[in-house]
Amino acid sequence: MDGNGPQKPSPCRKLVPFLLFQVILGTVFFAYIRNGMLSEPGAFGPFALLGNSSAPEKTHPTLTILLWTWPFGARFVIKNCSQLMGTPDCFITADRRWIHAADAVVVHHPDVSQSRRQLPQGPRPPFQRWVWFNLESPSHTPNLGFMDNYFNLTMSYRRDSDIFTPYGWLETLAEPRNVTIPEKSKLVAWVVSNWKHSSPRVKYYKKLRSYIPVDVYGRRHVPLPRDKHLSTLSQYKFYLAFENSVHEDYITEKLWRNSLLSSTVPVVCGPPRKNYERYLPPDSFIHIEDFPTAQGLANFLLELDRDPVRYRNYFQWRRWLKPVGDLGWAIQLCKACKVLQEKPVHYQTVGELSKWFT
């Protein structure tokens, strides 16, 4: 001090409060973003809700399900489960503001498989269940390792899933009905989009076409719009319901929609016959493993083509059963709604997801 009055604060001392304020503001904003306080994923951008950021409060007893991402980014109409399945409704939303209030969070694996950061981040409320959802086969399900011990329930086409969501099923009719077979003018059809010359199903098809004609639709072949699938395929006697990989219970829309809903006889390539017979009558389909060679299968199909009585036997099950296979995402969520309402809340984790889903 030189006795000439107080000294002015140094520039550094002025800067400290300003920097502290910036750090606090940045931390708050980061927490806001991390906790999912955005609107529906990817809908508006990071500043969309800064003027209305309060998280919803649950004020009704209806079970609430948060869909973490729209599957493959495709939005769809979320319908009432009472209309789709005749079961009690859930409140289903894709708005991430419900992350702390929802009873369950359904996470579609293909949309989060690239990074753990794409998954919901903790802490998870004790009443909330995180559900791993996947309809792809293990051959097309990458990066399961970092999801071990992360989820509470599984939801897939596998029969041993906590929430069983198959690609289709058979419903029993209240009374028998007459079986009507559409007029058939063609022999064998196949719709394929994922064409790989080295795949077992393409190799088998190439052998089969050496003995009988097979009309192929899809990418790299004859175009077939989705709204023309059933009317076109119904003209054929047989349909090649060949799966892209062989895994337990992996029986997809290739059988349920393309074949059964178009009233063709499915020729299947996938899991063993015994696995198919868990879902279908044994006399409703033809398995390629029933024949030692592709030529043997071709000869059998030609025999049935010449014998209308034997061919008709593959439709007798339809007197009592009806195939359901034209499904959408909404009905899969309603299956989750039904199970979650029936399943008591208790703590569990899916320990080794990567070993179970094989």
For the residues of 96-137, what is the DSSP string, one character each? GGGTTT-SEEEEEGGGTTT-GGGS--SPPPTT-EEEEEE-S-
Domain count, the chain: 2
Query: One of 40, 57, 136, 171 is an active-site residue; which one?
Result: 136
For the residues of 16-67, what is the DSSP string, one character each? HHHHHHHHHHHHHHHHHHHTT-SSSTTSS-TTTTTTS-PPP---SSS-EEEE
Same domain, 318 and 227: yes
Q: Is 222 helix (H, G, I), strand (E, B) or coil?
A: strand
Q: What's the pLDDT at 96?
A: 96
Q: What's the pLDDT at 22?
A: 53
Burial class of residue 353 (count of CB atoms within 10 Å of its CB; 0-12, 13-18, 19+): buried
- 31 located within any domain: no
- 306 located within any domain: yes
Nearest to 154 by CA among 133, 128, 185: 133
Same domain, 261 and 335: no
Q: What's the pLDDT at 54?
A: 62
- 55 located within any domain: no
- 17 located within any domain: no
Tokens, residue 50: 């800064």
Nearest to 294 by CA among 198, 220, 188, 216: 188
Tokens, residue 324: 């359901």
What pLDDT digit, counting tens, does each position of 332-352 carry? 999 999 999 998 887 789 999
Same domain, 272 and 291: yes
Same domain, 225 and 315: yes
Q: Which amino acid is at 114?
A: Q
Same domain, 206 and 337: no
Q: What's the pLDDT at 347?
A: 79
- 248 located within any domain: yes
At 214, which CATH number? 3.40.50.11660
Residue found by looking up tokens 């034997």 in the block: 310
What is the domain range of residue 184? 170-324
Beta-carbon neighbour count of residue 245 at 10 Å? 16
Is 243 a known active-site residue?
no
Same domain, 184 and 112: no
Same domain, 188 and 300: yes
What pLDDT digit, counting tens, does each position of 12-61 carry? 444 444 444 554 444 444 343 333 333 333 332 222 222 334 667 766 66
- Cα–Cα separations (whole angstroms), residue 337 to 22, 149, 205, 333: 44, 23, 40, 6
Collect the ranges in the chain with pLDDT lower than 70.
Answer: 1-55, 58-61
Q: What's the pLDDT at 23?
A: 45
Residue found by looking up tokens 């190439």 in the block: 206
Q: Are strands 186-191 and 169-172 parallel, antiparallel or unpaired?
A: unpaired
- Cα–Cα separations (whole angstroms), residue 215 to 131, 141, 219, 243: 41, 30, 13, 17
